[in-house]
């Protein structure tokens, strides 16, 4: 190498690497910048930011959280089109936030994570994460901290249906919508009656498609009460930010109040159940169809859906409800578990996502060479729903017990990002230190979650849901409490969840000092 030449093979060094550019990744990046941290990169496997709102483009895709609550606190949007935002609006909102926050220079688009390995401290150096990337910017990065902001609804779940590969027509998952498929007048079969199906089935019917809907289990559905905002309302929100703040506060309080009915409060659940059944009765006059659409499990056991259009679409005769699961595919013939046979030109799998087994977990290897997937072999665990024993300086956003069934998940992401920034500041109080979660702290937090969830409908309501890990029977996706309770729980995390500071071989740091997120010495 000639004098002055650089070794281009040397890994790029950064303080933080964030994986994912949806709400969680952008939220983490914003928190870092507000803390004065600029040494970070955001890896995104796709060609644009947006996460699930970039990927899901099926007809009718929209949010079921009020639009003025489903956004970052620092970036209110007075121009939402209505009470509930469309998917494309949310995608554009996230792109606008990335631009306003000047995150483009930190973004590495079309750059998937291939592997992440914790490298233990060597002589004269601190431990760090070694990241291998592919795509447009293949290479190696080294960073002090790794943030997994990969989302929980990213990898479509494709059921193992005998003969599925023999279907001759267009076949795709709702999260990978094939916009080239000709649906007008086509015989379209939709498998599943979850949140995506409830939104897309009315749209398909409006387009003139002849829809057959395979329903394994009916959902509890309550009125959506959606409406557009007028130009005058949007102008008023823009001119009077205080009014928008008050609306957001009211929507937040209403969301927190919904927790009672979702989590099993007897009176609140009875009222919500009555509202749902009244909604069904008013929109579906046929008693036989109504019976097929009536859930036989506790309110809140599965995700409660919001729709004013799904029941009318089924009652109109434009949709055929097959009240049993798709059991087999024989070419263009779809066979239900009840033995009914239906012909289809297009098959849409609205079958959800790999939620309890996160695909990224196999790519992340912590201390002693153990993968995150192995650590989570009995279901996801963590402390503060954010940090994991055996994986130093690692933060998982929107991961274990960080989802909500009653309020905006963006609120949870912002709390986790704030916690991560506090923890990073703590690490820097002892040079060369690593934030290593005490396994006992993780066990204690997991037990705490278990006790809080034990009597809820998610575990006792008589249904199968995607909140519970099938391997352990534990609630691993939902936070079993309000957002206020989550904020309080993270505020109580004072650093005692981390083991004594581990120093480098240079002797820096304070191995006998217990760290504190509040900054004071014990």
Would you give per-residue pLDDT tens digits along the chain (522 residues)?
344 444 456 899 999 999 999 999 999 999 999 999 999 999 999 999 999 999 999 999 999 999 999 999 999 999 999 999 999 999 999 999 999 999 999 999 999 999 999 999 876 678 999 999 999 879 999 999 999 999 887 889 999 999 999 999 999 999 999 999 999 999 999 999 999 999 999 999 999 999 999 999 999 999 999 999 999 999 999 999 999 999 999 999 999 999 999 999 999 999 999 999 999 999 999 999 999 999 999 999 999 999 999 999 999 999 999 999 999 999 999 999 999 999 999 999 999 988 888 889 999 999 999 999 999 999 999 999 999 999 999 999 998 999 999 999 999 999 999 999 999 999 988 777 899 999 999 999 999 999 999 999 999 999 999 999 999 999 999 999 999 999 999 999 999 999 964 433 333 333 333 444 433 322
Q: Which residue has the tokens 């017990």?
A: 401
Domain boundary among 349, 376, 397: 349
Does 173 lie in the same domain as 99?
no
95-117 burial, b if ≥16 CB within 10 A, otherwise e? Answer: bebbeebebeebbbbebbbeebb
Strands (E), 331-478: 333-336, 341-343, 346-349, 364-365, 394-396
Does residue 468 lie in a domain region? yes
Residue 134 and residue 35 share a domain? yes
Q: What is the extent of the structural domain holding 147?
A: 12-155+355-491
Phi and psi angles of residue 437, each rounded to the nearest 5 degrees, phi first: -70, 130
Q: Is residue 39 part of a domain?
A: yes
Same domain, 333 and 197: yes
Q: Is residue 340 located within the same domain as residue 367?
A: no
Please check whether residue 230 lies inside any domain of the structure.
no
One domain for residues 359 and 329: no
Per-state percent for the chain, helix, strand, coil, to nearest 5: 35, 20, 50
CA torsion sign, 322 to 477 to 278 to 310?
negative
Q: How far is CA 10 from the centre of its chain?
A: 35
Asked, for residue 254, whether it belongs to a domain, the answer is no
CB 465 within 8 A of CB 472: no
CATH value at residue 171: 3.50.50.60
504 Cβ contact list (under 8 Å, min separation 6): 121, 123, 124, 125, 126, 431, 432
For residues 119 and 178, membership in a common domain is answered with no
* 360 Cβ neighbours under 8 A, 6+ residues apart: 19, 113, 148, 150, 372
* Of the candidates 444, 474, 478, 443, the residue with the CA atom closest to the CA atom of residue 459: 474
What pairs with residue 156 in β-bridges? 353
**How far, in Å, CA of 438 to CA of 513, rounded?**
14
* Same domain assignment for residues 279 and 359: no
Clarify whether residues 328 and 427 are in a common domain. Answer: no
Q: How many domains does the chain have?
A: 2
| Tokens read off for 312 | 């009318």
Indicate whether 314 and 335 sit together in one domain: yes
pTM for the full predicted model: 0.93
For residue 43, the tally of other CB atoms under 10 A from its CB is 27
* Residue 449: half-sphere exposure toward Cβ, Cα within 13 Å: 28
Same domain, 389 and 325: no
Q: Do 398 and 308 belong to one domain?
A: no
CA distance 476 to 402: 9
Q: What is the DSSP secondary structure assignment for residue 283, as one 8-state letter?
A: H
Q: Is 415 exposed, middle or buried (0-12, 13-18, 19+ CB in 10 A)?
A: buried
Query: Given the structure tokens 């991560």, which residue do they identify?
Result: 420
Residue 373 is encoded by which pair of tokens?
Answer: 């997937």
Instruction: Single out the residue of 89, 87, 93, 78 nearest to residue 26, CA to CA.
Output: 93
70 Cβ contact list (under 8 Å, min separation 6): 63, 85, 90, 408, 410
User: Is residue 123 situated within a structural domain?
Assistant: yes
**If you write DSSP's letter for every residue of 385-431 in order, what string do you get?**
TTB-TT-TTEEETT-TT-B-SSS-HHHHHHHHHHHHHHHHHHHTTST
The answer to whether residue 515 is domain-embedded is no
Is residue 370 assigned to a domain? Answer: yes
Residue 139 lies in a domain: yes
303 in the same domain as 283: yes
Choose the final residue of a domain: 320, 349, 378: 349
Give the closest residue to 209 by CA, choosing from 192, 178, 184: 184
């Amino acid at each position: 190498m000639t004098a002055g030449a650089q070794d281009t093979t040397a890994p790029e060094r950064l303080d933080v690497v964030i994986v994912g550019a949806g709400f969680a990744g952008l939220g983490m990046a914003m928190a870092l910048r507000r803390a004065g941290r600029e040494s970070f990169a955001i890896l995104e496997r796709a060609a644009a930011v947006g996460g699930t709102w970039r990927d899901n483009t099926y007809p009718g895709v929209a949010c079921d959280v009020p639009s003025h609550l489903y956004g970052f606190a620092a970036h209110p949007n007075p121009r939402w089109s209505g009470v509930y935002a469309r998917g494309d609006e949310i995608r554009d909102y996230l792109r606008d936030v990335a631009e306003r926050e000047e995150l483009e220079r930190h973004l590495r688009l079309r750059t998937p994570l291939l592997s992440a390995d914790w490298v233990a401290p060597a002589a004269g150096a601190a431990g760090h994460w070694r990241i291998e990337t592919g795509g447009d910017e293949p290479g190696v990065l080294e960073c002090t901290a790794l943030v997994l902001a990969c989302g929980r609804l990213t990898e479509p779940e494709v059921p193992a249906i005998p003969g599925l590969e023999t279907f001759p027509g267009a076949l795709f998952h709702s999260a990978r919508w094939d916009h080239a498929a000709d649906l007008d007048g086509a015989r379209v079969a939709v498998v599943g009656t979850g949140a995506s199906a409830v939104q897309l089935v009315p749209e398909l019917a409006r387009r003139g498609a002849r829809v057959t809907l395979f329903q394994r289990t009916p959902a509890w559905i309550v009125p959506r009460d959606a409406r557009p905002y007028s130009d005058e309302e949007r102008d008023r929100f823009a001119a009077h930010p205080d009014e928008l703040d008050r609306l957001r506060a009211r929507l937040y309080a209403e969301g927190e109040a919904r927790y009672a009915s979702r989590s099993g409060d007897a009176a609140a659940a009875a009222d919500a159940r009555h509202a749902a059944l009244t909604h069904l009765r008013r929109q579906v006059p046929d008693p036989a169809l109504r019976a097929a659409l009536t859930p036989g499990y506790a309110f809140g056991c599965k995700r409660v859906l919001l729709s004013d259009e799904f029941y009318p679409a089924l009652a109109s005769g434009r949709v055929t409800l097959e009240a049993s699961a798709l059991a087999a595919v024989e070419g263009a013939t779809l066979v239900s578990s009840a033995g009914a046979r239906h012909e289809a030109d297009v098959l849409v799998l609205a079958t959800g996502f790999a939620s309890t087994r996160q695909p990224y977990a196999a790519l992340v290897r912590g201390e002693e060479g153990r993968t995150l997937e192995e650590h989570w072999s009995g279901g996801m665990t963590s402390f503060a729903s954010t940090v994991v024993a055996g994986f130093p300086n690692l933060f998982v956003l929107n991961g274990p017990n960080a989802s909500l069934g009653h309020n905006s998940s963006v609120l949870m992401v912002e709390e986790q990002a704030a916690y991560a920034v506090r923890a990073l500041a703590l690490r820097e109080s002892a040079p060369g230190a690593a934030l290593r979660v005490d396994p006992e702290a993780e066990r204690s937090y997991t037990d705490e979650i278990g006790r809080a969830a034990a009597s809820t409908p998610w575990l006792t309501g008589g249904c199968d849901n995607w909140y519970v890990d099938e391997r352990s029977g534990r609630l691993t996706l939902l936070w079993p409490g309000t957002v206020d309770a989550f904020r309080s729980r993270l505020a109580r995390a004072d650093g005692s969840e981390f083991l004594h500071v581990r120093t480098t071989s240079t002797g820096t740091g304070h191995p006998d000092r217990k760290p504190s997120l509040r900054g004071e010495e014990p």
